[in-house]
């Protein structure tokens, strides 16, 4: 996804040391490139990439599923109620 770390590439500094990132964070992946502070790395974190990938057009989608689920459950309730079946605890 062209990202490095959760929030950004500096998430790796406490784990691997200052100016060191995993090799997969390098824009041109090669052995040991993460130890080289002059190598270009992906600066964006995975969290912002994942949230940004959804886009604004997908934000209403969970609400649509919730409304459809409520409509389905009410239809099922009415069907069970009409058949006269009762729930005995």
Tell whether the torsion through CA atoms of 38, 33, 8 and 19 is positive or negative. Answer: negative
Is the CB of residue 43 less than 8 Å from the CB of residue 28? no
Is the CB of residue 23 less than 8 Å from the CB of residue 31? yes
Give pLDDT tens digits along the chain (89 positions). 788 888 888 888 898 888 888 888 888 878 888 887 677 888 888 887 777 655 556 567 778 889 999 999 999 999 888 888 776 65
The CA distance from 19 to 88, in Å, is 65
Q: What is the pLDDT of residue 53?
A: 58
Is the CB of residue 25 less than 8 Å from the CB of residue 42? yes
């Amino acid at each position: 996804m062209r990202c490095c770390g959760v929030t950004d590439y500096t998430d790796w500094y406490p784990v691997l040391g200052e100016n060191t990132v995993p090799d997969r964070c390098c824009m041109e992946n090669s052995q040991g490139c993460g130890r080289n502070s002059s190598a270009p790395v992906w600066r964006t974190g995975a969290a912002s990439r994942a949230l940004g990938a959804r886009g604004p057009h997908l934000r209403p989608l969970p609400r649509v599923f919730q409304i459809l689920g409520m409509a389905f459950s009410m239809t099922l309730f009415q069907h069970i109620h009409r058949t006269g079946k009762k729930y005995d605890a």
